[in-house]
Amino acid sequence: MAKRPANYHTRQGQRILDYMESLGGTHVTVNQIARHFEDTEEIIGQATIYRHLEKLAAGGKIRKYVLNEGKSACYQYIDAVKCRDHFHLKCEICGDLIHADCDLLDKIEKHLLCSHNFKINLLKTVFYGTCQKCLAGGAYEG
């Protein structure tokens, strides 16, 4: 059997990339991706999705965000999206991950660097709470 070249692309891998690209900069989990393909009646197993997402992340096409101390991750297409490093907000109710492009948070980041000689890893910095949609829906139990 002939060996496949290292950059070999499968139809399923291309479908996953196309789907990620169609989302723009929206963050999604493997479960959400699998559900999308189930809804379109094109079943792609989670192991296959994980494998292709890891390849896409290694190739710089998507960004992987690890949350909850490595227990879960979400992914974002970045090839065409100008996604600068920024803080993220994670809704503890619906699971959405939201970009926090905010001048005040930018000032906090700069303050920590200048005054405390501490550089925050923005890819791993996430604030947990309740998003606007869940607050409006009365889902907050705090």
Domain harbouring 47, CATH code: 1.10.10.10
Query: Number of structural domains, the chain?
Result: 2
Residues 75 and 122 both lie in one domain: no
- Alpha carbon of 35 to those of 19, 42, 43, 61, 71: distances in Å? 12, 10, 9, 21, 19
Residues 64 and 25 both lie in one domain: yes
What domain range is 96 assigned to? 84-142
Short-list 80, 81, 70, 73, CA closest to 33: 73
Query: What is the distance between the alpha carbons of residues 94 and 136, in angstroms, rounded to a whole number?
Result: 13
| pTM of the predicted model as reported, rounded to 2 decimal places | 0.61
Residues 116 and 77 both lie in one domain: no
Residues 5 and 60 both lie in one domain: yes
Tens digit of pLDDT for each residue in 22-81? 988 788 889 999 999 999 988 899 999 999 999 998 888 888 887 666 667 888 888 544
- Residue pair 65/11 in contact by the 8 Å Cβ criterion: no
